[in-house]
A and B are shown apart, each in its own frame.
Chain A
Amino acid sequence: MVVSPVHFIAVPLLAAFLMPILAKVNKNLLRIVPGIVLTYLGYVSVVLMNRVATEGTIIEVLAGWSAPWGINLVYTPFTGFLATLMIAMSFLIWLYSFKFKKVDDEPALKYFILQLMLTTGSVGLVLTGDIFNFFVFMEIIALSSYALTAFYRDRNGAEAAFKYLLIGAFASTLFLLAIVLLYSQVGTLNMAEISVRMHDVPTSMKVSILVLFLVGIGIEAEMFPLNGWAPDAYSQAPSPVGVAFAALVVKAGVYGLVRITYTLFGIEGSGIGPFLIIMGGITLVMAEITALKQTSLKRMLAYSSIGQMGFVLIAFGIGTHEAVFGAIFLMFNHAIIKGLLFMSGSYLVYNTPNKEIKYLSGYGMKMPVISLFFSLGALAIVGLPPFAGFWSKLYILLAAADGALYGLIALILVVSIIEIVYYFRVVGRLYFGKPAEGSIMRKPTVGGMIAMSILAIAILVVGFYPDIITGYIDAAASSILNTDEYIKNALGAVNELTPVENIIQ
């Protein structure tokens, strides 16, 4: 069997269905199986990334019906890059949480199934070429996220999950309504074909559909003012789940936003670009100012995460090749750096009341390695050279300068100062605060240490040699910007519904 993009969905689904039985055979299997699946998917990613680099976009037809009658998976350099990133991050999350709920197998089984399905949903959402299938994967992500948020079954977790559930269910409804309206206008669900037929849709209808889509997907992408669920969910969910939110769920949401605005509606001359810049700007400023006021470490990280997504939206709103390049680079950096910050931050606040920052005084001496990881992450995320975060910020600023958006540059720099203040406040407390008496340290697991070390090395390597990754990001940026290419590839040459000469205009 030759590897193909559908393995990203079929194999983990099969494993998730098998896991309840395997757990009855041997209870260690439930911890090992996700690792095996993710390793295999890592291998598939490597093979497919090489193939897409040499042969171009891979289209996989499902159930023997080519698009638009059936569903297809579209593995472009952009979607492939995100899928690979998600698989790699899921593997590290699995390593980090290998001993999760060691004493109680039943919740551990549920946890590993939910986490595996979260990965499946995110990767599937990125790869699919069909808008309804997109919605199905959105539901898979949403349902596993709700359950994982409430996983500790305490009062705050239940509140956070309930909030997320209400907002998320409302968003799903609007998203589905948008699909219904769209289908009533174009008579197809394939995203490439929708894109072809979009210019026949009346403007008032287009605006309604776009607004419904933006609200529906903006929740997952943490766009202001739809991100009320995020701080609670990040801080109440088990720590590996916080990492998964930052590395998978938000990335999938931003991907969806970009695919819908860039491919379905077209970013040029439609006013969507300035709209994304404004929304991104508001998200960025609101989130960073709120982060400054937080006393709980996890909430601070959550607001910082929202702010970064605002930054990504701004870059996608500018819409030039350089800006999109910076945006994708930032998505990559955010996944690895925020992953490291959440992993190390969770160990720091493991035994402190309310996860508050003020109890972290002097932890730099008590937990030297973890504090070092956290400080590295903090330095990288504010964009200091020579760490990974520097490059993405630089590219976005250069793109803004090219577009003569000087106000935007000023805004980004001011916000960066705020970011430096609240991150360095924590780092300063770690190293220069007076150690408190009698606090109990949490010893990190071996898997957790390996995962954090890999992330720290990745941050340093990408910081010093960005060239190892820029080739992939450059291809990804070209791929998302070239809608005609996407349509041509996704619909293929054989298409009875839309003559080929209509596709390329």
Chain B
Amino acid sequence: MRKLLVLFLLAVIAFSLYKPLSTIEFGADRMGSIENPTTVGAYYLSKTPSELSVANVITAIVVNYRGFDTLGEVSVLFLAATGLGSILYRRRKEGEHSISISKPSSQLLQAGSKLIYPAILVLGAYVFIHGHLTPGGGFQGGAIIATGILLMMMSYKDFHLNHTVLTWIESLAGITFATIGIAGLIVGKTFLENFMPIGTLNDLFSGGIIPIIYIAVGFKVAAELAGVLDTLLSIKEK
């Protein structure tokens, strides 16, 4: 009886969600004219190349137009890492050190990961440094770097990260983001406003503060995800 009731309720919810969603035409152009923008999206497309000189419009939206949201999202990630740290915290006893709980790995994996690890780090750095030019950015680049670290943790049982260094990277990157925002408030009158020369479109050094913020985000995301992995995957042992 109870299961039937649940099924019935789920059906009601599914129907009431399907009905409004079905009225949205699939694949229809909802953006409108880019020359005379009437929606926010069209406005972004028309203004970004000339006013911010950023080739990747998504990055311009994420870091500049809605940069305040990104600052919030960075804090959410920071909170997740902090919260996890507080819940899984255990005081280290005398002579204890942390080791990975993963199973012993094969020689193949060990040799392979040694080869591929630097390449992953470089790819991650490339993705966040070129965030304003090509698809990707700070969050994606940081996540790529963290996968490299995860690979090393799985291959080598004694691979472990220095938490002091991680804390410093994390904090300095966060401080950079917030400080750039406050600098915008002082120099350019509003929080997170661009106050640097925007350069020419498609150059590596273009887009004003956008690349700097994305590099800081990349470092922060990488350090936080690596810290989370290290907290989750290691135990303390004598």
A56 within 8 A of B: no
List chain B residues, Cβ under 8 A from A4. 185
The smallest beta-carbon distance between A342 and chain B, in angstroms, is 21
By beta carbon, the residue of chain B nearest A211 is B16
Asked if B117 is at the interface (CB within 8 A of a chain A CB), the reply is no
Q: Does B20 contact A (CB under 8 A)?
A: yes
Within 8 A of B (CB), among A72-127: 104, 106-107, 110-111, 113-114, 117, 120, 124
Contact A110 B66 (CB under 8 A): no
> B165-191 vs A: 1/0 string, CB under 8 Å?
001101110110111011011101111
Residue of A nearest to B66 (CB): A71
> Does B111 sit within 8 A of A, measured CB to CB?
no
Contact between B72 and A204, CB atoms less than 8 A apart:
no
Would you call B138 an interface residue if the criterion is a C-beta within 8 Å of the partner chain's C-beta atoms? no
Q: Choose among B69, B164, B171, B178 the residue that contacts A132 (Cβ–Cβ < 8 A).
A: B69
Instruction: Please indicate the chain A residues that have their CB under 8 angstroms from the CB of B178 in the complex.
Output: 10, 13-14, 17
Residues of B within 8 A of A158 (CB): 87
> Is B69 touching A110 in the complex (CB atoms < 8 A)?
no
Closest-CB distance, B79 to chain A (whole angstroms): 4
With the chains together, A133 CA to B171 CA distance in Å? 23
Which of A17, A136, A153, A187 is in CB contact (< 8 Å) with B39? A187
Q: Quick one: which of A10, A71, A146, A189 contacts B182, CB cutoff 8 A?
A: A10
Residues of chain B within 8 A (CB-CB) of A61 are 190
The CB with the most chain B CB atoms within 10 A, among A19, A20, A151, is that of A20
- Which residues from A are CB-within-8-Å of B170? 17, 20
Chain A residue at minimal CB-CB distance from B86 = A110
Given contacts A136-B73, A147-B79, are A63 and B65 in contact (CB under 8 A)? yes
Closest residue of chain B to A206, judged by CB?
A: B20
Is B107 an interface position by the 8 A CB rule?
Answer: no
Which residues in window 135-156 of A have CB below 8 A to B? Answer: 136-137, 139-140, 143-144, 146-147, 150-151, 153
How far apart sit A104 and B89, CA to CA, in the bound complex (Å)?
A: 11
Nearest residue, chain B, Cβ from A136: B72
- State A151–B168 Cα separation when bound (angstroms): 24
- Residues from chain B with a CB closer than 8 A to the CB of A9 are 68
How far is B179's CA from A124's CA once the two chains are assembled, in angstroms? Answer: 18
What separation, in Å, do the CA atoms of A69 and B194 have in the docked complex? 15
User: Which residues 455-487 in A have Cβ within 8 Å of B in the complex?
Assistant: none
Q: Interface residue count for A (Cβ, 8 Å)?
A: 63
Cα A16 to Cα B39 with chains together (Å): 36
Contact of A62 among B44, B89, B192 (CB under 8 A): B192
Given known A-B contacts A114-B83, A153-B87, A64 and B188 have beta carbons under 8 A apart: yes
B20 near A204: Cβ-Cβ < 8 Å: yes
- Is A144 a contact of B65 with CB atoms below 8 Å? no
Contact of A63 among B37, B82, B177, B190 (CB under 8 A): B190
- A146–B80 alpha-carbon span in the complex (Å): 10
A421 in the interface, Cβ–Cβ < 8 Å?
no
Set of chain B residues within 8 Å of A147, measured between Cβ atoms: 79, 82-84, 86-87
Whether A24 pairs with B79 at a CB distance below 8 angstroms is no
Rounded to whole angstroms, the CA-CA distance of A120 and B78 in the bound complex is 14
Q: A17 and B40: CB pair below 8 A?
A: no
In the bound complex, what is the Cα–Cα distance between A133 and B69 (angstroms)? 6
Taking a contact as CB atoms under 8 Å apart, the answer to whether B76 and A10 are in contact is no
Convert A195-212 into 0s and 1s, putting 1 for each residue whose CB lies closer than 8 angstroms to a CB of B: 000000010110011010
CA distance A17 to B169 in the complex (A): 11
A to B CB contacts below 8 Å, 24 in the list: A10-B178, A10-B182, A17-B170, A17-B171, A17-B174, A19-B171, A21-B172, A24-B167, A62-B190, A64-B184, A64-B193, A65-B65, A69-B47, A106-B89, A107-B86, A110-B83, A133-B69, A136-B76, A143-B76, A147-B84, A187-B30, A204-B23, A208-B17, A209-B20
Binding site for B on A (CB under 8 A): 1, 4, 6, 9-10, 13-14, 16-21, 24, 60-65, 68-71, 104, 106-107, 110-111, 113-114, 117, 120, 124, 132-133, 136-137, 139-140, 143-144, 146-147, 150-151, 153, 158, 161, 177, 181, 184, 187-189, 202, 204-205, 208-209, 211, 496-497
List residues of chain B with CB under 8 Å of any chain A CB.
Answer: 16-17, 19-21, 23-24, 30, 37-41, 43-44, 47, 64-69, 71-73, 75-76, 78-80, 82-87, 89, 91, 164, 167-168, 170-172, 174-175, 177-179, 181-182, 184-186, 188-194
List 3 tightest A-B contacts by C-beta distance, closest first. A147-B83, A17-B174, A110-B86
Q: A20-B171, A146-B83, A147-B79 are in contact. List 17 more A-B contacts (CB 8 A).
A: A10-B181, A10-B182, A14-B182, A17-B170, A17-B174, A20-B167, A62-B191, A63-B66, A63-B192, A110-B82, A117-B79, A133-B69, A136-B76, A139-B72, A153-B87, A177-B17, A184-B30
